[in-house]
Amino acid sequence: MNNFQYKRVSSPLAAITELSKNPAAKLIAGGTNLVDLMKYGVMAPEKLVDVNHLNFDTITKKDGLLHIGATVRNAVASENADVLKYQPLLSQAMLAGASAQLRNKATMGGNLLQRTRCGYFYDVSAPCNKRVPGSGCGAMEGYNRMHAIFGASSSCIAVNPSDMNVALTALDAVILVSGPKGDRKIPISEFHRLPGTHPELDTTLDKKEIITGINIPDNNFAAHTTYLKVRDRISYAFALISVAVALDLEGTTIRDIRLAMGGVAHKPWRLKEAEQMLKGKEATVENFKMAAELAMKGAKAYEHNAFKLKLAPNTMVQALKTASGIKG
């Protein structure tokens, strides 16, 4: 690990100022991802700016929104009464996402900014365009079992590792950020990026901006939500495939629906065509299978992850069955 400076800040302006002064500075809160990356030599920030003492640690429900501050710990958010009552899908995803110890440290803002767990990204001896732009993608012709089937490019086939991000995508969350030019709101669908020719850029967040919180608009999904995660072991493993389902049912008719998938792309993968197909339809296994087939349009597998082409639609059908409560 390289030597670095450390600065604790007590105001958003101070954090933004530190980032503006030093492009090689990084924010740290829980550090559950950044510290690992520093130990492996993947990232070597010259300065760590500690944001734990900013006033972003509250959860409030008002004006048609559930607001969660950026420094709220994942454990706190997953157990919060308002989260459980109004947005249980978020809690389900976070509880599936990590060990209890990590949830006690990890923050909401940090979770949004998690970097990929691609083995080639972590191996500093391997080519990786995310780590060293222009060096190549080791996963493309290498061992790519965990990698993308949607939205990849010739530069990168890594996936976003966060379970929380998948749920937030299904819930149409909005990310609140602040920077030298003021405050702005970024729909989560526009927050994370596909790799394109710049896979080193995971998000649309400017390097001088900080995340201050997350807003989730009210919805009618709380009674019928499921986060289904398929992984190699029962706990603390990243998703091979995950599916977030949120349903608004009138009897067995789907009045509204949100679907998102994880473990398949460089960003959480929203399934809007499948949503449109199911809206107004009956919650039946036949309709779920048709929607799952539609959701897989454009999927492309690589040598070691072709199994995802079957696992993904099967997981989606099972998640829809669980959320709707139907048998079969």
The pairing of strands 225-230 and 241-250 is antiparallel
Opening angle at CA 15, ends 214 and 166, nearest 5: 25
DSSP state of 125: T
Where would I find the beta strands (DSSP E) of the chain? 5-8, 25-28, 47-50, 59-62, 65-69, 174-179, 182-187, 210-217, 225-230, 241-250, 253-262, 269-270
Q: What is the residue-wise DSSP string for 208-233?
A: T-EEEEEEEE--S-TTSEEEEEE-SS
Residue 287: phi and psi, rounded to 5, are: -65, -35
Instruction: Return the closest-CA partner of residue 149 out of 259, 53, 269.
Output: 269
pLDDT lower than 50: segments of the chain: none
**Domain spanning 5-52 has what CATH number?**
3.30.43.10
68-109, pLDDT tens digit by residue?
Answer: 999 999 999 999 999 999 999 999 999 999 899 999 999 999
CATH 3.30.43.10 segments of the chain: 5-52
Q: How far is CA 253 from CA 120, 141, 284, 326, in A?
A: 45, 45, 9, 12
pLDDT at 153: 98
pLDDT at 328: 72
CATH 3.30.390.50 segments of the chain: 225-324
251-273, pLDDT tens digit by residue?
Answer: 999 999 999 999 999 999 999 99
Work out the angle between the directed axes of helices 285-295 and 308-324 (0-180°, nearest 10). 140
Residue 229: phi and psi, rounded to 5, are: -120, 120
Number of other CB atoms surrounding residue 8 within 10 Å: 12
Q: Which CATH superfamily is domain 225-324 in?
A: CO dehydrogenase flavoprotein, C-terminal domain (3.30.390.50)
Instruction: Return the closest-CA partner of residue 191 out of 180, 178, 206, 181.
Output: 206
Instruction: Return the closest-CA partner of residue 311 out of 253, 245, 243.
Output: 243
pLDDT at 2: 84
pLDDT at 295: 98
